[in-house]
Chains A and B, each alone.
Chain A
Amino acid sequence: MSDTATANPDEVVTHARVRRIELPDGAGTLAMITIDNDRDHTRPTTFGPAGLAALDAAIDEVSAMTDISAVAVTGKPFIFAVGADLSAIGLVDQRDVILEFGQRGHAVFRRLGELAVPSFAFVNGAAMGGGTEIALHCSYRTMSTAAAAMSLPEVFLGLIPGWGGAWLLPNLIGPAAALEVIVANALQQNKQLKPKDALRLGVVDVVLDSADFLEQSLRWAAGVLNGTVIVKRPEIDRENWDAIVDIATTMLDEKVHRATPAPYRALDLVRAARTCSRTEGFAAEDEALADLVMGEDLRASLYAFDLVQKRAKRPMGAPDKSLARPVRKVGVVGAGLMASQLALLFAKRLQVPVVMTDLDQERVEKGLAYIHGQIAADRDKGRLTADRANRLTALVSGSTDSTVFADADFVIEAVFEDLAVKRTVFTQLEAVVSAECILATNTSSLSVTAMAEGLAHPERVVGFHFFNPVAVMPLLEIARAEQTDDATLATAFVVGKQLKKSCVLVKDAPAFVVNRLLTRYLNEIVAAVDEGTPIDVADRASNALGLPMSPFQLLALVGPGVALHVSETMHDAFPDRYAVSDNMRRMVEAGITSVWIPGDGGTPILDPRVNEVLVQGDSPSDEEQLVQRISLALADEARRMLDEGVVAEAQDIDLCMILGAGWPFWLGGLTPYLDRTGAAEMSGGRRFLPRGVASLPG
């Protein structure tokens, strides 16, 4: 291949070193190939052009050994291999180049399965993508109990397993299990296989204890060669192969609505793997890989992946953590569901006393009962030991008397979303707490600055906005109010990190980032319905983007009452862009919590009460018009947010949408999609990101 085309001067080259090992029990000599990029485990082993060449040379070397009985591949400590060097793929701008890179990988890896002697993969550590594929090319696989993870994450990134995985895996473990690994796990936040899962699915032949993994792998290999170890493989359902792929396609449509190509290309490859030859299968992978790499979805995905891997861990604009004050006790004002979830999270992650207050003992008891119930459930499921459950239970207490906050270092309020109520809470707190105690608010749309007004120490007030469900959603918007000082902000970021959340610094602006954009988006949908668009048509508008839920599913999750309340707040702030829908108000008044209710056989049907309250105009939109409309509205809102300095850069908006709203990688969160479709330029006259950042270059 024209190595110059994909040559990456920054490639961390993986070496493949060969040593001869005498196997026990007279099983002959094994040629061991160690793949190692000579860095520690924090820089996992990957393959670029030079790494592939090194592995190829090692295979040349073992192929020339006429006196060996087996070949094995293993990795450096903690890492087997994690696949292609993605930094190189992001640089590729010609289809031919990536086609050749895929072919090259196939040409090298497949040799491991076509040697004159059996080959073994000793999966000592993490194996992902091409790393997993190296193992799949081998005749046999052992896996260490300590191997952190195994996966084929390509579809998660907008690719397909392109170095043999899409053909080899279904032919090894059958189409159902293969699709679980290649598609379902990849699309479920890149879920990894633990060793026991890999064994259950048949991806590996045996799992061996980490303490003497290589020694026992060699002994096992000797047993295979001597015939004393019989390797059992899953029986493959070739009869129902197509039907299984059909079912998977239907499930995928429900989730992705054909919004992005990669998972569908993966399905095609798995479908074809039933009958096509190895060579044909690999060639089809090459073509699919080249198509996808030259597609915008992959570029956006790589950008999104980089955001969650890097930017999410090093928040832009966070003050130096040395300014942070220690948090040794936490207070939560309120004992409702949100407050209780917060209290539990703080106790679990910070492991400091957490005290909740509410107006009456009954509410306090209810909140505590919820928390203690959650802890007990975790204990009963084996997620917590009894000792740890005891410790957590003892950390959380409740009271109706706010003097319990006197020695707290951080108090967060989660009371009713009303400025006056929250102001009163903060004023009362100030009478009790120290002058340095952080006062945080979990408000989703109110002004933090306004909340701090009139306090003796407004500089200790900060917005700390979680997403529901608090325990699951990874985003935390940290809002700096006008007077918030660096120590307070630094403390908020340190606490956020301790809570294992990805923090994004936002300006104190109405609804911050995620809710402002989601509300604008819902606003357009609801307006279209008001104008006469049928609800089912409006609700399909998100399909083209492949959003995790439809607009009216989202509305049901948020709750129409809350959504209405937020739209009122947003209308007050931006009356020209945010409307309050009378239809919405009537639905709330009618007690409708979701427009969709379960019908016969579980298919959702429209709640008949909706038609009773719905008053529609006579200018309906079609789906295409709606997609255009929401794109332009989101482009407009995002541009305004950047102009207002709500966040530092478009990247922060995208990170928020990925982590706070679950918007997909293939949209790059949001702005790469708006750039790609032209909505950004149509709405604001310019792109959010330069070409090549989250899109194809040029």
Chain B
Amino acid sequence: MSRTVQDVVFVDGVRTPFGKAGSALAETRADDLVVKVFREILRRNPNLPAERIDDVAVAATTQVGDQGMTLGRTASLLAGLPFTVPGYAIDRMCAGAMTAVTTLSSGIMAGAYDIALAGGVESMSRHPMGDGMDPNPRFLSERLVDTDALVMGATAENLHDRYPQLTKDRADAFAHASQMKTAKAYAEGWIQPDLVPIATRSQELGWGMLSQDESMRPETTLAGLAGLKTPFRAHGRVTAGNSSGLNDGATAALLASEAMADDLGLTKKMRMVGFAFAGVEPEFMGVGPVPSTEKALSRAGLSIDDIGLFEVNEAFAVQVLALLDHFGIPDDDPRVNPMGGAIAVGHPLASSGIRLMTYLAKDFERHPEVRYGITTMCIGLGMGGTVIWENLQTTGSRA
């Protein structure tokens, strides 16, 4: 038989507002968060008959309890999807949702699927990072990884060591800008349309509603950031202010073959150009996006100059700066994280990949003149992931 590679389009993406661990979403189950974003995706895309979804992949880092039991399947059933729709769980730590998207997209490209639903979730309230972890003793006894490899903040400090030009001041300035850009995007109403407000259970306070990200600090000042403690190293550079926090949240994205999207009349926000994942030394995990982006560009036959918008996950400011320095992009380049990022809104590990994509889709809407953008993130144990997207929300007829 002859095969045709299908183009994959990003139809829609939504997320819960991200809660601070131990706060608004602390009493809400992770699977329930996924259910609510799935249902919103279906509501927002009434042209999609739910039974046409070919597969569902949901990512979580700590896959136990309410994040276990094959989330893609359980969340689908709980959301009321027909039982004929299958699902599975996926894990690549912080790039879980990104990997859910790339894996499902591979299936669409290969012709195995036409419609797929991707999701990611992390309740760091209910599943603190590393909870229940049992690393193989050989990692340390045979020095397969540095002891820092499992402490993300320590890997960020290591980046400052490796690239002395990445100073704390630069990291703080970037972090401050993230807060300011986020506040502005909220004020202008760019972020809210893709949020799914969540009714929050609190035995102590009663039911409430989380309608916006809980961790934002629009009042942040550079002076304030300069005075924060450096918990990973005495007189270090990595602070709570220039890192993402510990968060709860879920994301979902609807993917389709371009032909099926046209058939069903689904929106087409962006087209997947290509993707790549790459590994680096685990104790320098923050530099992962550099090789993954190089690889993705090279495979797509593009150069960094073709990229008009960047959504880089802000696990740590220094790790974003490492990528920007590598490509010679200024710290305050307006193409980078134009609506801010994880330092302001939070980073519920496995869910963040789809947040980046949803942001990029919005960036594309605001910049119809831009053709290509990337979403990229660093990943624990020394990896990076990059997806290149093409803007379909253009005024002209580029498709």
Binding site for B on A (CB under 8 A): 17-19, 21-22, 24, 32-34, 36, 38, 74, 76-77, 209, 211-212, 214-215, 218
Contact = CB atoms under 8 A, between A and B. Distances in A.
A38 B201 CA distance: 12
B206 interface: yes
21 contacts: A17-B205, A17-B206, A19-B205, A19-B206, A21-B209, A22-B209, A22-B211, A32-B207, A32-B208, A211-B39, A211-B78, A211-B79, A212-B35, A212-B39, A214-B199, A214-B207, A215-B36, A215-B197, A215-B198, A215-B199, A215-B209
A32 B80 CA distance: 27
A24 B203 CA distance: 24
B198 A19 contact: no
Nearest to A74: B207
A21 B208 contact: yes
A610 to B, nearest CB: 60
Given A77-B201, A215-B198, A209 B206 contact: no
Contacts of A21: 208-209
Contacts of B206: 17-19, 32-34, 36
A19 B208 contact: yes
A44 to B, nearest CB: 16
A18 B201 CA distance: 13
A22 B39 CA distance: 21
A17 B203 CA distance: 9
Given A21-B208, A218-B209, 18 more contacts: A17-B204, A17-B205, A18-B206, A19-B207, A19-B208, A21-B209, A32-B207, A38-B203, A76-B203, A77-B201, A209-B39, A209-B80, A211-B79, A211-B80, A212-B40, A215-B198, A215-B199, A218-B197
B73 to A, nearest CB: 15
B72 to A, nearest CB: 16
A212 B80 CA distance: 11
Contacts of B203: 36, 38, 76
Nearest to A30: B209
A22 B78 CA distance: 27
Contacts, number: 51
A134 B36 CA distance: 28
Nearest to A72: B207
A215 B33 CA distance: 12
B81 to A, nearest CB: 10
Contacts of A18: 206
Contacts of A211: 35-36, 39, 78-80
Contacts of B196: 215
A214 B35 CA distance: 13
A588 B199 CA distance: 68
Contacts of B79: 211
Nearest to A19: B208
Nearest to A22: B211
Contacts of A212: 35-36, 39-40, 199
Contacts of B78: 211
Contacts of B35: 211-212
Contacts of B198: 215
Interface of B: 35-36, 39-40, 78-80, 196-199, 201, 203-209, 211
A551 B399 CA distance: 86
Nearest to A213: B199
A212 B35 CA distance: 8
B79 to A, nearest CB: 6
A44 B184 CA distance: 46
Contacts of B40: 212
A24 B80 contact: no
A32 to B, nearest CB: 6
A36 B199 CA distance: 16
A222 to B, nearest CB: 11
Contacts of A34: 206-207
Nearest to A24: B197
Nearest to B27: A77
Nearest to A32: B207
Contacts of B80: 209, 211
Contacts of A38: 203
Contacts of A215: 36, 196-199, 209
Contact of A218 (B199, B204, B205): B199
A17 B209 CA distance: 14
A19 B35 CA distance: 24
A33 B205 CA distance: 10
A631 B205 CA distance: 56
A36 B204 CA distance: 10
Which 10 A-B pairs give the minimum distances between C-beta atoms?
A: A34-B206, A17-B206, A214-B199, A21-B209, A19-B208, A34-B207, A212-B36, A19-B206, A211-B35, A215-B199
A506 to B, nearest CB: 46
A142 to B, nearest CB: 12
A76 B40 CA distance: 24
B60 to A, nearest CB: 19
A214 B203 CA distance: 15
Contacts of A214: 199, 207
A32 B204 CA distance: 14
B39 to A, nearest CB: 5
B97 to A, nearest CB: 20
B45 to A, nearest CB: 16
Contacts of B201: 77
Contacts of A19: 205-208
B203 to A, nearest CB: 6
A22 B209 CA distance: 8
A74 B197 CA distance: 17
Contacts of B205: 17, 19
Contacts of A17: 204-206
A74 B208 CA distance: 11
B321 to A, nearest CB: 36
B378 to A, nearest CB: 33
A209 B209 CA distance: 18
A30 B35 CA distance: 24
A215 B196 CA distance: 9
A654 to B, nearest CB: 39
A22 B205 CA distance: 16
A484 to B, nearest CB: 46
Most chain B beta-carbon contacts within 10 A, residue among A24, A74, A214: A214
A33 B39 CA distance: 26
Contacts of A76: 203
A69 B196 CA distance: 22
Contacts of B199: 212, 214-215, 218
Contacts of A33: 206
